[in-house]
Amino acid sequence: MKRGNTPLLIFILVLFGFCLWVILPGTEIFGRDEFKLGLDLKGGSHLVYSIDLSKKDPAQSDADVIEGVKNKIERRVNAYGVTEPIVQTIRNERGSFVLVQLPGVKDIDEAMNLIGQTAELDFREVVLDAEGEPELDEEGNVQWVKATAKGSDEQERELTGKYLKPNAQVVLAPQTNEPEVAFEWNSEGAILFEQITQRNLQKPLGIFLDNQLISAPTVQAVIKEKGVITGLNLDEARTLAIQLNSGSLDVPLTLVERRDIGATLGEDSLRKSLMAGIIGSTMVVIFMIAYYRFSGFVACLALVVFVTLNLAIFKLIPVVLTLPGIAGFIVSIGMGVDGNVLVAERLKEELRRGRTLGAAIEEGFRQSWSAIFDANVTVFIACAVLYWLGNTFGNFLVIGFATTLFIGTALSMFTQVVVTRTFMRTFVGLGVAKSPGAYGVLRQ
Amino acid sequence: MIDLVGKRNWFFLISAIVIIPGIISLAVFGLQPGVDFSSGTAMTLSFDKEVELSQLRQELTDLGYDEAVVQPAGGGDFFVRLPEISAEETTKLKESLETGLGTTVTISSLYSVSPIVAAGTVRNTVIAVVVASIGILLYISWAFRKMPKPFRWGTCAVIALVHDLVVVIAVFSILGWVAGLEVDALFVTGVLAVVGVSVNNIVVVFDRIRENLKRGVSRDFAVIANYGIIESLGRSLNTGLATLFVIVALYLLGGTTTHTLVLALLIGIATGIYSSLCIAGQLLVVWEKGFASRRKEATSTA
């Protein structure tokens, strides 16, 4: 046995044992006890909204507006109760976008209402004519004007949702059992609200959300701090409460991409891919052993190490596993035998030339390394470009494939060269499989 | 020894038989862009009771979606492709179909892309392909720096690579109008991965030819090339087979999401094995000696 081989063998076995432990179901490491599955496997919704920066307040910078939108959407999504949501911003030459992933969400329409609405709340007074009667337009509708009042600094201000404390909640009205959203004003809001309710006693006060009238209760008393919004069903009330607490968006959003995947479809796909992976790998194992005999067997042991290490990396990083990601991993299993095939072929040649087994192994590996390395550079280039491509438009499927193929290829270089060689040297050192026939070389 | 170089004109002919109709198909029909590239709404619908294709098509026409493309998606499900519709329209469509067909309709997957995103995807895809090509060309010029005539060897490698890509794209073009197969971002992913794998095969073969050239195996370049190809045969076929085993398994069992990705890999990797053994080295020989047949070469080099 070559010097230095035993420590390397121990290192590989320890690493293998550790990785095996990591991937066992139930092992908790870095606060995570299972693989992180992508949206296409868990089911859920992937939404991309375009942020209309042309509507922003000129005083604000683009970056602030985008950051604000992201934070508010994050708050909305978290309050809605989705596990492991993703909210990301994407900026490119087409504009600015916010990407939202909601795994496992059941009612997508409700979720989209919650996220996509600007949720600008304001209060409006009825426009009165000279006789003090409500002024009507041609169709006989009441005209509304935004209610303003003097703030603490004597400036005239519109009363909007931005003066609310973030503690709005859904309550049921004591008598009617109708859902209501109860809110509280902050100190500035209370100053404005007091003046407005005073001015509008016994008159209707319109509550508008994104320029849509929700309700127009008649003001019964002068109110400072608190109020309720009625005229909503339970879902709407819940959505509104979350929106009021997270704050209205500074600019409108438009939905530009939507991908919904049913949970059952995801489960079904996962099962199918795993089955494909198992059957494919089994065929590779049978083929390698049948053709390369002992080298093939060692290659398969190395393949087991490769798969285990790879899965452990997926769990540790964690890599978000998607269907194309699993495909990339499975493809890297197939391609991962390449190095072993190169080495085994070289080995056969060297044995035919009459070298001793030990010398043939060393020569086989020495000659194959440059080819193994060179061969994988092109795959790395392709993966890097794909990763960039996936990121520019938030395509998690493309990113998934590029990531796992990259990890798989890099790791297979390690297993092909280090693991296979160490195993080979060990077996040869132990005197196992001495005849050239065991390597698929026919006796002449 | 098998003479793969001598049969080169046959191999070129075989490739031409695939590529020429493919290029014609590409010129006439192009590729069928999926919603990624052309915008629109694609969904898979499942029903509680059996629904006929014609029934669904009629119902969609009645609802005003004349442009709808409807295809069976297996297991009684249907794939429906429409121009982009909003979330409200989607909900309305589902409800209208439920009343029209008298069954519960489940949208098991939906993918909707607006023109602004689609245009961005097209642009970025073009950039990605250009960047990948430059990267691969740089790699090739680096990998072939040790070769006797780097430019010539590099060019032959690029031709063989383009050959593989043309075959993949041509097959997708043909399947596009025959079977309605669409190309999406995952197709591009598959094609770029094929580039990576394909160059790799060519490099291995060329490496062997170079080695034999240095060793002075023969004075005839055709013999040297053939020797190198035969030596790579075992490696190229076996690695290729192992890779194809898993890809075929994925294609047959892996479900529909990754269909275009896996199909592109399957065609591309299979073609890559063929071109690395039957096209790339042969091109070198042609450049060296012209298209003359083997027998004439033998007399002229003697």
Distance CA B117, CA A50 (A): 9
CA dihedral for B205, B207, B211, B214, sign (positive or negative): positive
Of B32, B16, B35, the closest CA to residue B178 belongs to B32
Count of domains observed in chain B: 2
Region A211-231: mean pLDDT is 85
Distance CA B190, CA B206 (A): 24
Distance CA B43, CA B68 (A): 11
Distance CA A416, CA A354 (A): 24
CB contact under 8 Å between A375 and B113, yes or no, is no
Region A297-303: mean pLDDT is 89
Quote the ipTM score: 0.86
Helix (H) or strand (E) holding A45: strand A44-51
Distance CA A141, CA A302 (A): 79
Whether residues B60 and B14 share a domain: the answer is: no
| End-to-end Cα separation, chain B, in angstroms | 20
A105 in B contact zone (CB under 8 Å): no
CATH of domain A121-245: 3.30.1360.200
At residue A384, φ and ψ (nearest 5 deg) are -60, -45
Distance CA B109, CA B287 (A): 52
CB contact under 8 Å between B185 and A398, yes or no, is yes
Domain ranges of chain A: 5-29+262-439, 40-118+255-260, 121-245
Minimum mean pLDDT range among A241-245, A322-326, B108-112, B255-259: B255-259
- pLDDT band, very low/low/confident/very high, at B276 (cuts 50, 70, 90): very high
Q: Which two tokens stand for residue B244?
A: 């194809």
Distance CA B185, CA A240 (A): 37
Angle of helix B185-215 versus helix A323-352 axis, rounded to 10: 10
pLDDT at position A442: 63
Distance CA B152, CA B147 (A): 9
**pLDDT exceeding 90 applies to what percent of chain A?**
17
Residues of A in contact with B146 (CB under 8 A): none
Fold (CATH) for A40-118+255-260: Alpha-Beta Plaits (3.30.70)
Whether residues B28 and B80 share a domain: the answer is: no
pLDDT at position B1: 74
**Domain for residue B223, yes or no?**
yes
Region B201-226: mean pLDDT is 87
Non-local (6+) Cβ contacts of A84 within 8 A are A103
- Per CATH, the architecture of A5-29+262-439 is what? Up-down Bundle (1.20)
If you ran DSSP here, which 8-state letter would residue A163 be given? G
Distance CA A310, CA B284 (A): 39
Picking from A254, A272, A287, the nearest residue to B242 by CB comes out as A287
**Domain for residue B162, yes or no?**
yes
Residues of A in contact with B131 (CB under 8 A): 385, 388
CB contact under 8 Å between A277 and B247, yes or no, is no
Record the pTM. Answer: 0.85
CB A43 within 8 A of CB A262: yes
CB contact under 8 Å between A393 and B121, yes or no, is yes
Helix (H) or strand (E) holding B56: helix B53-62
**Domain for residue B24, yes or no?**
yes
CB B42 within 8 A of CB B111: yes
pLDDT at position B33: 92
pLDDT in tens, A155-167: 888 888 888 888 8
pLDDT at position A3: 60
Kindly provide the residue ranges of all beta strands, DSSP E only, lying in A232-348, ordered along the sequence. 253-261
Residues of B in contact with A263 (CB under 8 A): none
pLDDT in tens, B215-263: 888 888 899 999 989 988 888 888 888 899 999 999 998 877 788 999 9
CA dihedral for B256, B257, B260, B262, sign (positive or negative): negative
A93 in B contact zone (CB under 8 Å): yes
Burial A251-267 (b: 16+ CB within 10 A, else e): bbbebbbbbbbbbebbe
Region A368-397: mean pLDDT is 83
Count helices and strands in chain B by DSSP H and E runs: 11, 6
Minimum mean pLDDT range among A179-193, A337-351, B111-125, B239-253: A337-351
CB contact under 8 Å between A386 and B124, yes or no, is no
Region A279-296: mean pLDDT is 90
Place of tokens 């070198």: B284
Distance CA B12, CA B19 (A): 10
Owning domain of residue B88: 40-113
- Average pLDDT of chain B to the nearest whole number: 87
Whether residues B143 and B83 share a domain: the answer is: no
pLDDT at position B291: 63
At residue A342, φ and ψ (nearest 5 deg) are -55, -50
Q: Which two tokens stand for residue A170?
A: 């859904």
Distance CA A278, CA B241 (A): 16
CB contact under 8 Å between A401 and B193, yes or no, is yes
Query: What's the length of chain B?
Result: 302
CA distance A432 to chain B (A): 25
pLDDT in tens, B164-190: 999 999 999 999 988 888 999 899 999
Last residue of a domain, one of B96, B113, B130: B113
Chain A residue with minimal CA distance to B204? Answer: A371
Distance CA B214, CA B221 (A): 12
Helix (H, G, I), strand (E, B) or coil at A341: helix
pLDDT in tens, A133-145: 777 777 778 888 8
Residues of B in contact with A331 (CB under 8 A): 193, 243, 246-247, 250, 265
Kindly compute the dihedral angle of the four CA atoms of residues A244, A248, A252, A254, in this order, to the nearest 10 degrees. -40
Whether residues B239 and B126 share a domain: the answer is: yes
Please report, for the domain that includes residue B227, its CATH number: 1.20.1640.10
CA distance B150 to chain A (A): 16
Nearest 5°: the CA angle A152, A155, A161 is 75
CB A48 within 8 A of CB A256: yes
- pLDDT band, very low/low/confident/very high, at B277 (cuts 50, 70, 90): very high
Whether residues B271 and B166 share a domain: the answer is: yes
pLDDT at position A443: 52
Q: Which two tokens stand for residue B54?
A: 């014609």
CA distance A321 to chain B (A): 13
Distance CA B278, CA A314 (A): 38
CB A75 within 8 A of CB A243: no
Q: Which two tokens stand for residue B170?
A: 């041509």
**Domain for residue B3, yes or no?**
no
Distance CA B202, CA A19 (A): 35
pLDDT at position A317: 87
pLDDT in tens, A236-260: 888 888 888 888 888 888 899 999 8
Single-letter amino acid, residue A84: E
CA distance A129 to chain B (A): 39
pLDDT at position A33: 75
Kindly provide the residue ranges of all beta strands, DSSP E only, lying in A262-317, ordered along the sequence. none
Non-local (6+) Cβ contacts of A252 within 8 A are A52, A55, A118
Strands A226-229 and A179-184, how do they pair? Answer: antiparallel
Of B78, B128, B194, the closest CA to residue A395 belongs to B128
Last residue of a domain, one of B97, B113, B129: B113
Residues of A in contact with B234 (CB under 8 A): 341, 345
CA distance B34 to chain A (A): 14
Single-letter amino acid, residue B283: L
pLDDT at position A417: 79
Nearest 5°: the CA angle A69, A72, A75 is 150
Chain A residue with minimal CA distance to B135? Answer: A381
Q: Which two tokens stand for residue B262?
A: 């896996």
Distance CA A341, CA A295 (A): 9
At residue A220, φ and ψ (nearest 5 deg) are -100, -25
Q: Which two tokens stand for residue B178?
A: 């025959």
Long-range contacts, stretch A13-22, CB < 8 angstroms, 24+ apart: A15/A309, A16/A305, A16/A308, A16/A309, A18/A312, A19/A308, A19/A309, A19/A311, A19/A312, A20/A308, A20/A312, A22/A312, A22/A315, A22/A316
Q: Which of A338, A370, A404 is the best mutation test for B, with the most CBs of B within 10 A?
A: A338
Chain B residue with minimal CA distance to A116? Answer: B87
pLDDT of B299 over the 50 cut: no
Whether residues B13 and B159 share a domain: the answer is: yes
pLDDT at position B275: 94
- Chain A to chain B Cβ contacts (< 8 Å): 227
Whether residues B76 and B156 share a domain: the answer is: no
More confident residue, A5 or B261: B261
Last residue of a domain, one of B80, B113, B146: B113
Region A379-394: mean pLDDT is 87
pLDDT of A408 over the 90 cut: yes
Please report, for the domain that includes residue B48, its CATH number: 3.30.70.3400
Single-letter amino acid, residue A80: Y
Whether residues B105 and B134 share a domain: the answer is: no
